[in-house]
Amino acid sequence: MRMALTNGRVLLDEGFRRDVAVLVEGGRVAALPAEADLPAGIARRDLGGAMLLPGFIDTQVNGGGGVLFNDVPTAEGVAAIGRAHRRFGTIGFMPTLISDDIEKVALAIAAVDQAIADGVPGVLGIHIEGPFLNVDRKGIHAEDRIRRADAGDLAVLTQAGRGRRMVTVAPEKVDPDQLQTLVEAGLLVCAGHTDATYAVTRRALDQGLRGFTHLFNAMSQLGSREPGVVGAALSDEASWCGIIVDGAHVAPVVLRLALRCSRPERFMLVTDAMPTVGAASKSFVLQGKTIEVRGGVCVDDAGTLAGSDLDMATAVRNAVSMLGLDLAQAARMASLHPAEFLGLGHELGRIAPGYRASFVLADDGINVLDSWIDGVSAKEEPARATG
């Protein structure tokens, strides 16, 4: 199927362009011609002057649409979460499993593998956050699920499967040889919920640690004599930092300072979204704890942050209003940067010939009007049942 998207403000590498159409063929961008040069008789969609952005990619999605991945580790659960987030421009996501037993981890891996095999739109792989974390930085993770890894755990994590596989660990709680095994198996290993020293984190980076899960949250902070995990993250030039821009997880001024410390290209927006995103109900149960959205923030009875009620379109909007980024920069932090982190920067995150036709159409307020995944509009996507 060939079609052309016309009369839009298209975000290209050099910035927004009004003078190009986006020609889509076979689920990819075929060309970016002037509208006058489009082939005769081709189907066209007039974008009405709205912005066409590269589709958003979220590497940390615990739930959405009333579904928590830990509770529904099935292909149907993955599909329901994807549908909820697509309404907010997320065209690629990593369903995220919060610390749980190894049997649940195996189920979650199998669910994502099946979802990809079934062609569930947008699912790129799985993010396993824990359970190999530091109890002292557990956040909302259940203490009784946190433990050190053993050979059986590594066998489950490194089994063959589809899509990308990301795992968040506390480097001080994983033996160096175990970390090396994960890296050599192709997993994207990130540090999070960790009290590691700078030296331990630096050693992990030298072994192939790929990035940092929700920078500043649940990790050792930058100090005058001990730089901690935050100091290692900001001083390293090769790794990636996920940031939650909701004004609650991290003070905006701290994130603005972080962006000054290192290359902005190393930062990517994440939501850490919970089931409340895209759902009418603003409460849910997480491993026995009731979580409620108060003032736009997910917390338990003690006020502990429990993921977020943030969607990616709002994260982009906040990056502009809270961090002072221009829209093109903010959009790239939600698209190109996570694509490159995942090793998919050659096919996602840009609107360019040869890239997958995965876009977001938004108005000036960054309200999502439509989205495409591999050339298929959300308005054309067939409905799927939720299991």
d(CA 275, CA 66): 4
pLDDT (tens digit, 0 to 9) for every residue of the chain, 387 residues total?
799 999 999 999 999 999 999 999 999 999 999 999 998 899 999 999 999 999 999 999 999 999 999 999 999 999 999 999 999 999 999 999 999 999 999 999 999 999 999 999 999 999 999 999 999 999 999 999 999 999 999 999 999 999 999 999 999 999 999 999 999 999 999 999 999 999 999 999 999 999 999 999 999 999 999 999 999 999 999 999 999 999 999 999 999 999 999 888 999 999 999 999 999 999 999 999 999 999 999 999 999 999 999 999 999 999 999 999 999 999 999 999 999 999 999 999 999 999 999 999 999 999 999 999 999 999 886 654 433
- Per DSSP, the residues of 300-345 read -TT--B-SB---HHHHHHHHHHTT---HHHHHHHTTHHHHHHTT-T
In the set 272, 309, 311, 370, the catalytic residue is 272
Q: Could you count the other beta carbons within 10 Å of the beta carbon of residue 260?
A: 9
Q: Is 249 annotated as a binding residue?
A: yes
Q: Is 305 annotated as a binding residue?
A: yes
Q: Is 14 annotated as a binding residue?
A: no
113 catalytic, yes or no? no
Q: Are 314 and 323 in contact (CB under 8 A)?
A: no
**Chain Cα centroid distance, residue 334:** 8
Q: Are 7 and 48 in contact (CB under 8 A)?
A: yes
In the chain, the domains with their CATH numbers are: 2-53+353-377 (2.30.40.10), 55-341 (3.20.20.140)
Report the length, in residues, of the chain: 387
Q: Is 337 annotated as a binding residue?
A: no
Q: Is 306 annotated as a binding residue?
A: yes
Q: Could you count the other beta carbons within 10 Å of the beta carbon of residue 376?
A: 17
Give the predicted TM-score (pTM) of the model.
Answer: 0.96
d(CA 317, CA 331): 9
